[in-house]
Amino acid sequence: MSEWVLQARHLSRHYLQGQQLVPVLQDIELQVSAGQTVAITGASGSGKSTLMHVLAGLDAPNQGQVLWGDLDISSCSASELGQQRNRHLGFVYQFHHLLSELDALDNVALPLWIRRMPMAQAQPLALQALSDVGMAQRIHHRPAELSGGERQRVALARALVTQPRCILADEPTGNLDRETADHMFDLLCSLCQRHGMALLLVTHDESLARRCERRLQLQRGRLLTLA
């Protein structure tokens, strides 16, 4: 088994705008090891979300490879890719992307149902994940009945419930006030540490980036290491 939970090799992504080639990612190299916390910063439009989508296998690179553990994801069929993604990665976004008609418990159990785990097995795990993020008292609330910070905590529980080896978080605190953002970040780090999960965090919050073990910056399509 590879010591890396996530790797990008010579990754490039461009878009075509009319006849014009717009390069977004150029020859990106990235290796994330088990349990590591890595921050990616960069100006708006620098390609952070594009990179996350390519790493998540939601967008295909024009060149290069993405590996989840030892798995080169370009070798997967579409259905296999979905299953492998569900096993390797958890996601937290700037907006919670919870399903409005489901309560917190069902939203968190959803990735387990997708794995065909029976309800009787999935529910206690979802409950534990909600309890880990301090939301045990809100399990039957729907997203509309929760505050912004609470929704993000439910979204975090949903990312953790499958015990992935790596969490990809794209501006998870971008929509929260300072205090709630700090609390969310502390929770994210402590839960990743407790479960030995790596964290790849996109943020434009320098104070949060500095608290990660590694800091990288996207600039003109290149991923630079910050001291």
Which residues in this chain contact ligand ADP in the complex, by CB under 6 A? 15, 24, 42, 44-50
Q: What is the number of residues in the chain?
A: 227
Give the phi and the psi of residue 93 in degrees, each rounded to 5. -115, 175
User: Which of 104, 159 has the CB closer to Mg ion?
Assistant: 159
Q: Is 49 in the site for Mg ion (CB under 5 A)?
A: yes
Minimal distance, residue 100 CB to Mg ion, in Å:
23
Q: How far is the CB of 45 from Mg ion (least distance, A)?
A: 8
Helices then strands, each counted (H, E), the chain: 7, 10
The item of ligand ADP, Mg ion, none sharing an interface with residue 47, based on CB under 5 to 8 Å by kind, is: ligand ADP
Given the rule CB under 5 A, which of 2-10, 46-54, 82-90, 182-190 is the region that contacts Mg ion? 46-54
Whole-number Å distance between alpha carbons of 54 and 192:
22
* Cα torsion 196, 198, 201, 207: sign: positive
As measured in angstroms, the least distance from the Cβ of 48 to Mg ion is 5
**Residue 60 or 136 with smaller CB distance to ligand ADP:** 60
Residues 210/35, Cβ–Cβ less than 8 Å: no
Q: Quick one: tokens of 150?
A: 């609470």
